[in-house]
Amino acid sequence: MATTTTDSRAGQRGRRQADQMQIDAKARAIPIEQIAQRAYELFMERGGAHGHDVDDWLAAEHELLRTRVSES
């Protein structure tokens, strides 16, 4: 039996959802202390300029997540 376009799209969507679930699980596994440490390092790399705490946190989280995903 031939696979229809709809079946193919559903399969791709299912794989993307599974991939996202794995990424989400890895993100939850990043210790908050590790994110905080990296965010502080980014803060210091910018010369300690205030007002970018959320940007530093999100950048640190993204960087650590990207590292974990690439390791798997």
**Is position 15 within any domain?**
no
Would you state the pLDDT for residue 31? 92
Mean pLDDT of the chain: 83
**Is position 26 within any domain?**
no
Number of structural domains (the chain) is 1
Q: Are 64 and 35 in contact (CB under 8 A)?
A: yes
Distance separating alpha carbons of residues 10 and 43, to the nearest angstrom = 43
Separation in Å, CA 64 to CA 1, 8, 13, 30, 42: 44, 33, 26, 8, 13
In 10 A of CB 23, how many CB atoms?
15
44 has a pLDDT exceeding 90: yes
Span 25-47, mean pLDDT? 89
| Residue tagged 């790399």 (tokens) | 45
Digit-coded pLDDT (tens) for 3-26: 566 667 777 787 777 766 666 666
Domain extent, residue 55, equals: 31-72
